[in-house]
């Protein structure tokens, strides 16, 4: 079962991991040939073979932790298709397609949507710009939704109607953190970590009210993409360079799993960007 416990608690309060179902895309065509965020510098060389090796390691980490990983075929001419999190949002077995802001990525939306339709998912084509789990993060019974640089705020109402969950709008103000998943990570049903400086004052106040005990990232860890992380409730897969976050997570009872995705980070993404979670209907009670 998708929600089967894969790490049981031995002492009271020990964190429990649950098996996840992920979709990934091998970076066979990875390159930084254009710039649509501050991290992308086409003049700097990229090493596609290294990108593939680092991505393969990430996939092995997920499988070693007991998670199920499916693959979508990479398409020529779409170097950022490796960032599967942007391809759609999947909640309770329902799929809201992505609709990209920049022309360079527009074709990714239909490619991911076709993958889901071919497998019988209930799908909806988005009416407004949204960049999938890049800006939609599921936690508990709500969805945290980013806006400011990519996803349109009016798409949040569309997601709330389609998924039937509360959607909380969060406004990003630092262009380095252009997607919500670069500035905030879900750790558990009621736990997150985030970088306060990436958000507007109003959004910081919302996060403080909803998650008063959140893990707060410093500048160095945020810039190392430490918040572009994937948690199964116990293990947190994140950039190995984010040493401060790794220490804080360990102190709170999580098991940090550091990975090196330095080549893919040249395009502005790390572990979470490479990982789209496929949430089945029976997972509603989780997050």
Q: Return the pLDDT at 42.
A: 98
CATH code, 261:
3.75.10.10
- Residue 144 included in any domain: yes
Q: Return the pLDDT at 282.
A: 53
- Residue 3 included in any domain: no
- Residue 4 included in any domain: no
Q: Return the pLDDT at 167.
A: 98
Task: Calculate the dihedral angle through the C-alpha atoms of 219, 178, 76, 74, rounding to the nearest 10 degrees.
Answer: 70
Residue 237: closest CA among 223, 227, 247: 227
Q: State the DSSP H helix or E strand holding residue 247, giving kind and residue range, or none if neither.
A: helix 243-251
Q: Return the pLDDT at 285.
A: 42
pLDDT tens, 6-24? 443 433 369 999 999 999 9
Q: Contact 22/70 with Cβ under 8 angstroms?
A: yes
**Rounded to whole angstroms, how far apart are CA atoms 20 and 63?**
10
- Residue 253 included in any domain: yes
CA atoms within 13 A on the CB side of 125: 6
Cα-to-chain-centroid distance, residue 281: 19
- Residue 11 included in any domain: no
Q: Contact 32/39 with Cβ under 8 angstroms?
A: no
Q: Return the pLDDT at 6.
A: 44
Q: Return the pLDDT at 32.
A: 98
Q: Return the pLDDT at 234.
A: 98
Q: Return the pLDDT at 75.
A: 98
Residues annotated as part of the active site: 179, 273
Q: Return the pLDDT at 11.
A: 37
pLDDT tens, 128-181? 999 999 999 999 899 999 999 999 999 999 999 999 999 999 999 999 999 999
Q: Which domain, by its residues, includes 256? A: 17-283
Q: What is the pTM of this model?
A: 0.94
Tokens coding 280: 């089945």
Task: Calculate the dihedral angle through the C-alpha atoms of 168, 173, 177, 179, rounding to the nearest 10 degrees.
Answer: 40
- Residue 68 included in any domain: yes
Phi, psi of 101 (to 5 degrees): -75, -40
Q: Return the pLDDT at 1.
A: 27
Q: Return the pLDDT at 277.
A: 98
**Which stretches of the chain score pLDDT less than 50?**
1-12, 283-287
Structural domains counted in the chain: 1
Count of CB atoms situated within 10 Å of the CB of 12: 5
- Residue 10 included in any domain: no
Q: Which residues contact 255 (CB under 8 A, 6 or more apart)?
A: 15, 234, 235, 236
Q: Return the pLDDT at 7.
A: 44
- Residue 276 included in any domain: yes
Cα-to-chain-centroid distance, residue 218: 19
Q: Return the pLDDT at 283.
A: 47
């Amino acid at each position: 079962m998708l929600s089967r416990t894969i790490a049981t608690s031995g002492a009271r309060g020990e964190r429990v991991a649950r098996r996840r179902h992920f979709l990934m895309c091998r970076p066979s065509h990875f390159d930084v040939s254009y710039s649509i965020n501050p991290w992308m510098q086409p003049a700097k060389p990229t090493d596609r073979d290294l990108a593939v090796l680092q991505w393969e390691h990430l996939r092995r980490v997920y499988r070693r932790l007991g998670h199920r990983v499916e693959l979508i075929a990479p398409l020529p001419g779409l170097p950022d298709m490796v960032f599967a999190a942007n391809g759609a949002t999947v909640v309770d077995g329902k799929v809201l397609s992505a609709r990209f802001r920049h022309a360079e990525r527009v074709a990714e939306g239909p490619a991911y949507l076709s993958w889901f339709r071919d497998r019988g998912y209930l799908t909806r084509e988005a009416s407004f710009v949204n960049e999938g789990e890049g800006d939609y993060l599921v936690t508990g019974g709500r969805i945290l939704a980013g806006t400011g640089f990519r996803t349109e705020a009016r798409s949040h109402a569309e997601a709330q109607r389609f998924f039937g969950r509360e959607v909380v709008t969060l406004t990003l103000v630092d262009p380095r953190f252009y997607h919500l998943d670069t500035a905030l990570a879900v750790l558990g049903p009621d736990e997150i970590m985030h970088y306060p400086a990436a958000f507007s004052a109003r959004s910081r106040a919302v996060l403080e009210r909803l998650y008063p005990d959140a893990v707060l990232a410093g500048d160095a860890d945020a810039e190392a993409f430490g918040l572009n992380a994937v948690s199964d409730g116990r293990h947190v897969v994140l950039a190995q360079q984010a040493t401060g976050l790794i220490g804080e997570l360990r102190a709170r009872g999580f098991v940090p799993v550091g990975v090196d995705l330095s080549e893919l980070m040249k395009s502005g993404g790390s572990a979470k960007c490479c990982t789209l979670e496929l949430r089945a209907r029976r997972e509603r009670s989780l997050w």
